[in-house]
Chains A and B, each alone.
Chain A
C-alpha cells in the first residue's frame, strides 16, 4: 500500500463514526525519550503502541465525529506530521484486526470469520512447527494473588531487596567456600541417569517458584495476572504465567523488575538450598538440594538471564533499552534493509525506528540468530553424544525450523512477494548472487585447516649423559654448553673407597701368587684352590678398575653438553646410571609430540608445514620437520606434562593408577627444530601446529561429520 496523502479507499471510512471499545486502556509511556501511547486490550491481554500522531487521530474518534472530521482536525493540529489517509486507514484496520474498534456499521462478517479460522489454523501450524512448546492455560491466579498480597508485598521494597541480597550473597559465599565439593566430577554427577530423573522431577517445581516470582511482582505493582498454565518445552511440562500486564507499567524499572523477579526468586531458592546442602548428611535431601542449586542457580542465569534467547533476559533488555518488541521489529527492519538496498525498492517505507534503535535492531537480530543457531547446535551435539538417535532427530528438526523454513519463506517472498513486482529480476539476481557467494565460499574457497597439539622437548636415549659409577662429583672436565666429540671426558667423580680397594686387591693378588708358588710344590690340591682364588681376585680387580675408569663420565655422542643445573653438580653424590646431563645434537633440537587418533590421519597424510612454539618463548615460532613417527597407537605419554593432570590436554585413564596411561590411544611423532643458543630445557612443553594447507569448508564439514558417524558406528 502506498503512502500517499489521499487514499482512493478513503470514501469507505470517511463517514464512519468509530470509537475504541471500552475495554481498551491507554497508558502514556516514554521510550528512548519519545512519547508513545500504549493501548492495553484487557480482553486479549495484548498491547499496541502508537505514536502521538496516530494517537491524535484515535483520540479524536469518540463515536460522534466522523473519520473525516477527526482527520481534518488532526491535519489542522499536526500539519505535515498528521498521518496520511493511507496511514489512518491502516491504523483503523489494525485496530479492527485487534478487535478494538467499534462503529455504527456492522463489520464484514466474512472477514471476521476468515480471520478467526486463520488464527485457529495459525495456532495449529505453530504447534506443528514447534511441537515442543504447546501452551495449556489452566488457572486464573489473580484472586489468590490478591488475597495473599499482604504476605509478599513487602518483599518488593528496598528492604525486601536487601534481604534478597543478603540471602543470595550468603549462598554465593557458601558456594565459593565449598566450590571443589560442589564441582567435583560435575559432569558425571549431573548426567548419571538417576540424577537426570531427579532433575526432571524437581525442574517444574523450581519453575513454579520462578513464575510466582513474576506473578507476585506484577501483582505487587498493581497489575493483574489472569492466566497461569503449563507449556511443554521439549515434552517437559513447564509452568508459565501471563505477566503481560506489566507492559502497561509506566516506569521501565517496574517492567524491568517484573522481568527479573523470576530469576531473583530462583536465585533465592538456590541460596536456601545451599544452606540446607551444607547442614545435612549425604542422602536424598542433599541430592535434591544439589539439583535445586543447579537448576535455580545455573540454568536460570544461563538461559533465563540470557538476552539473546527469548526468555526473561530478553524482556529485561527490551525494557532497559526501551525498545519493545526488539526481536520481531529487528527481523522486519533487516527485511526492510534487504529490500531497500539489496532489491532496490526505493519507495519502500522504512519501519518506524529512531537511528539509535536501528543499530539495536540490526545487531540484536544478527547476534541473537547466530547465538540461537550456536546454542541449538551445542545442545544437539551434546544430546547426540549421550543419545545418538535422539540427537540426530533433534538436529534434523532444528535444521528445518531454524534454517530451511526461513530460507523457504525468503524464496517464496522473492518469487511471489507483492511489492517486489517491479524489482523481481533484481531481487532474484541479488538473492542468487548472495546464495552463490555463500555456496562458492562453502564449496570453492579454501579455508585453512590445521591440527594443534602439544609436545615436549626431548633427547634420544643415546644422548643422555649418565654416570657409570657412583661417587661424588669432583669437577666438570668440560664446561656445560660446550660442543664435545664422542668420548671426551665431561665430569669427574670420586669414590674414596675404590682406590684403597684396588690397592688391597693388588696386594692380595701378590700374596696369592706367592702362596701359589709355594703350594704348587707342596700340595697340588691346595694349589688348585689358590689358582681359583687368583682368578676370582683378578676379576674383582678388573671390576674395581672399571668403576674407577667410570668415574670419568664421557660424552656418549657428539654435540653440545648440557647440564640442567651445573652449579649444583660439584660434590654431589651421583648414583650409578643417574642422568647428569645431555649431549644435545649440534644442529637440531628434538620434540616429541602426541597426536590424538582423530587427527592422526590428517597429520600423517597432508601436513604441509609445522610450527612450534616453546612454552618459554611463546612469541617465537620455529618451523619443524617430522623425523620419525611411532607407527602404532599407544597409551604411553612421553611426559606427564602432556596429560590433563600435568596441565596438558590428554585425558588420563583413571582406572590405571600405577602409571599414567592416556584414556584414548595417541600417536607419537618426533619432530626436529633448529638448534638455538638458548638454554635447552629438556621436557619443556611446546605447542605444535600442523598446517594442512587449506580446503573448502564443505570438505572440512564432511570430514568432521564422517568422523563423528564412524566413531558412533564402528566403536
Chain B
C-alpha cells in the first residue's frame, strides 16, 4: 500500500468483483492484517512525502488559466491510464486538482485532505472528523480515478446530499474536462443511463443498488462477463438497456451508516400484484391473534424481536378456527399467519418502527430514524400492519430481485469510504469488505467538551433535565441541538418545549433541502433545534460569529443509541473545524437500550448504593451488548447469503 496501487481499475464489459469465499487461513489472518499501517498522521513519512510531492508538482499548474488546466488534465490522462496510480502521477493529479479548485468552487484542499484523498484512492476508509470537508476530499480521489479512465460512483446517503455535492463540486470536475452526473430518486429511469455514463456520478446508495438490481434482471441469462463479451463478438449490438457500466470504483460517504448500519437491509425490487383475498386473510389473522393471551398462549422472546406461540396457544388456535376452511385448515399455515399478526400487533409499534403518513404505513429505520418510503415488510406483515392502522391495503409485492448492501458493495472492484466514526467497526469493515480504516488527522485541534453521562430513574425526570439544560444554554444565547432516538421522542420533547414557551424547530428525518436549511441554520444564536439523530446528516452546522463567542453549539443527546458510533455522530455536530462546542448526554433506566439489552440489570445496578459508578457501567454494557448482537446478526446474514447462494445455485447467479 505504500507506493499506491499500480493497476487501473476494471477494464472490460460490466466489470465487477466476483465473489470469493475466504478459506480458513484468510479468516485467521485477516485480523492481524488489519492493524498494519492504520495511521496517516502529521509527521508520518507517508503524509510528509505526499504533501511534498504535491507541492513540488504544484508550480506546474498553479498559474494556469482554465484552458491551461484543461490541457494539463488532458495530458495527464493517458499517463495515468498507462502507468496507473504511481506516487508521482497521483501527486501531479492532486496538485492539478488543488490548483483548479479555488477558481471553480472557491475552496482549496488542505494538506490533511490530500492525505484523505490518497487514502480513498487506495481503496481504504478515511476516518475524518466531522466538518473536515469530506466532500472536498472525495474530489481528489474521484477526479484522479476519473482521469485514469475509471468510472467513479460517489455514494451519499440521501438525494439532497447527492444533488448538493454534484452541484457544488461540478465546476471543479468540468474544469478538468470531466463529465459529472447525478442520480437521485427524481431522475426517471430512462434518463439514468446518461448520468451513469459520465466520468463521475453522484448518487445515493439506494438508487445505485436498485439500478444495479435492474441491470442484473436484464442480464439474467448472462451472468458472467465472458458471456457479454462473447455476445458482443458474436455481433450482438443490441442496446443492452443497462444502467451502469459496471462496478469499478465507489467512494461511499458516511460509510459506516451505509455499509454497516444498513448492511442487512435487503433491497428488494418488486412488482405489485393484486391483493385480492389477502385483506380478508389479514383481518382474520389479526382477529385470531387478538384473542390469544400474552404469556400463556404466546410469548415475546429475544429482546422482543420474536413471537413464539406456545403449545397452549396452538391448542386455543385450533379451537378458534374449528370448522374454517382454506388457509386455516392446516396448523402450519394458520400458525404462520397468526405469528405474523402477533408480530404486527406486539412487536411493531407506531412511530417507532413505522410511521403512518398520507394514509400509508412507512417503515422507519430504527437505527437512523429515517423514513424509508419505498420499503415494505414481507410475507403479509406489511398488509397486517396496514389493516391494524386502518390504512388502505397495498397490493402484495412480488419480489423480482433482492440484494443486501453487504453483497452489493462487495462487488465493487475498488471501494473506498469516508466517515467520522469508524473505530468500532474497523474489524467488520475489513472482514466483510476488505476495507482498511485509516485515520486522517484534523486540521486544527478539536475543542469539543463532552459532559459525562447523566442518568435518571424515570423518563419524566430525564425530559425535565433536558428541558432545564435547553433553557440554561438558551439564555446564554447559545444555539442548542437536541438529538432524539425516535420520532415519538422528538415530538414529546417538542410539546414540552412549546409548553415552556421556547421557540424551536422540529426535524423529522425527511431529508430534503428544507431540512438541510434548518440544520445549517441551527448554528444561529439562541436557535433551538430538535431532530432525530440522522436528520440533516451531511450538512454542516455553521456557527454564527455570535454563537461562537457564546460558547458554540450545545448538543444534547437524550438517549444512548444502540451503537456508540451514533452518539458520537451527534457529538460531531458541534465543535467543527476548531470551533468551540459542548455535548451533554442524558439517559434513564426506562430507555429502550436498557429494557432491551439489560432488562434485568436496572433494579440491581440502578437502585443499588454507589449507582454513580454502576449506572454508567450498565449503560456501557448494554450498548456494547447491542453492538455485539447487531454485528453478529450482520455476520449471520452474510453467512446465510452464502448458504442460500449455494442452495439456490441451480437458479443461476441471480439476485
Contact = CB atoms under 8 A, between A and B. Distances in A.
Given A5-B336, A8-B399, A418-B639, A110 B653 contact: yes
B650 A93 contact: yes
B645 interface: yes
Interface stretch (A11-19, A221-229, A231-239, A673-681): A11-19
A108 B333 contact: no
B648 A93 contact: yes
Interface in A417-463: 418, 421-422
A450 B646 CA distance: 59
A205 B640 CA distance: 51
A529 to B, nearest CB: 117
A101 B650 contact: yes
A111 B645 CA distance: 8
A10 B650 contact: no
Given A8-B399, A84-B332, A90-B647, A108 B652 contact: yes
A112 B652 CA distance: 11
Contacts of A110: 18-19, 653
A95 B647 CA distance: 10
A68 to B, nearest CB: 10
A109 interface: yes
Interface string B375-407: 000111000000000000000001111100000
Interface in B245-295: 266
Contacts of B19: 110
B230 interface: no
Nearest to B653: A108
B652 A5 contact: no
A12 B632 contact: no
Nearest to A121: B23
Interface in A73-93: 79-81, 84, 89-90, 92-93
B332 A5 contact: yes
B329 interface: yes
A114 B647 CA distance: 12
Nearest to B222: A106
Given A80-B329, A84-B332, A114 B21 contact: yes
The CB with the most chain A CB atoms within 10 A, among B378, B643, B646, is that of B646
A525 interface: no
A89 B647 CA distance: 8
Contact of A111 (B220, B380, B649): B649
Contact of A9 (B223, B308, B644): B644
B379 A4 contact: yes
B650 A107 contact: yes
Contact of A11 (B333, B398, B647, B649): B398
A107 B649 contact: yes
Interface string B219-241: 01101100000000000000000
Contact of B651 (A1, A84, A105): A105
B330 interface: yes
Interface string B620-650: 0000000000001100100110011111111
Interface string B324-354: 0000011111001000000000000000000
A10 B268 CA distance: 13
Contacts of B646: 93, 111, 114-115
B190 interface: no
B598 interface: no
A96 B649 contact: yes
A103 interface: yes
Interface in A1-35: 1, 4-6, 8-13, 16, 18
B302 interface: yes
Nearest to A7: B379
A421 B636 contact: yes
Interface in B22-81: none
Contacts of A13: 648, 651
A8 B223 CA distance: 21
Given A80-B332, A110-B19, A8 B650 contact: no
A12 B648 contact: yes
A112 B379 contact: no
A422 B633 CA distance: 10
B645 A108 contact: yes
A367 B121 CA distance: 63
Contacts of B633: 421
B654 interface: yes
B224 A109 contact: yes
Given A8-B266, A8-B378, A109-B224, A92 B650 contact: yes
Contacts of A346: 308
Contacts of B302: 422
B294 to A, nearest CB: 17
Nearest to B23: A121
A12 B646 CA distance: 13
Contacts of B223: 106, 108
B647 A93 contact: yes
Interface in B199-223: 220-221, 223
B537 to A, nearest CB: 29
A108 B649 contact: yes
A114 B633 CA distance: 25
A110 B225 CA distance: 13
B324 to A, nearest CB: 13
A55 B385 CA distance: 37
Interface in B293-317: 302, 308
Contacts of A4: 336, 379
B599 to A, nearest CB: 15
B400 to A, nearest CB: 6
Contacts of B398: 11
A88 to B, nearest CB: 11
Given A16-B651, A92-B650, A93-B650, A80 B639 contact: no
A1 B636 CA distance: 11
Contacts of A1: 640, 643-644
Interface string A28-61: 0000000000000000000000000000000000
A449 B651 CA distance: 65
A106 B652 contact: yes
Given A90-B647, A108-B653, A111-B645, A79 B329 contact: yes
Contact of A80 (B21, B220, B331, B380): B331
A249 to B, nearest CB: 30
Interface in A100-126: 101, 103, 105-112, 114-115
Nearest to B305: A422
The CB with the most chain A CB atoms within 10 A, among B302, B329, B330, B654, is that of B330
B330 to A, nearest CB: 2
Contact of A103 (B224, B399, B647, B650): B650
Contacts of B336: 4-6
A426 to B, nearest CB: 13
B637 to A, nearest CB: 11
18 contacts: A8-B266, A8-B379, A11-B402, A12-B651, A89-B647, A90-B647, A93-B649, A95-B650, A96-B649, A105-B221, A105-B650, A105-B652, A107-B652, A108-B223, A108-B649, A110-B18, A111-B653, A418-B639
Given A4-B336, A111-B646, 7 more contacts: A8-B266, A11-B401, A80-B331, A96-B649, A105-B650, A105-B651, A418-B640
Q: Which 4 A-B pairs have the closest CB atoms?
A: A80-B330, A111-B649, A93-B647, A96-B650
Interface of A: 1, 4-6, 8-13, 16, 18, 79-81, 84, 89-90, 92-93, 95-96, 101, 103, 105-112, 114-115, 346-347, 418, 421-422
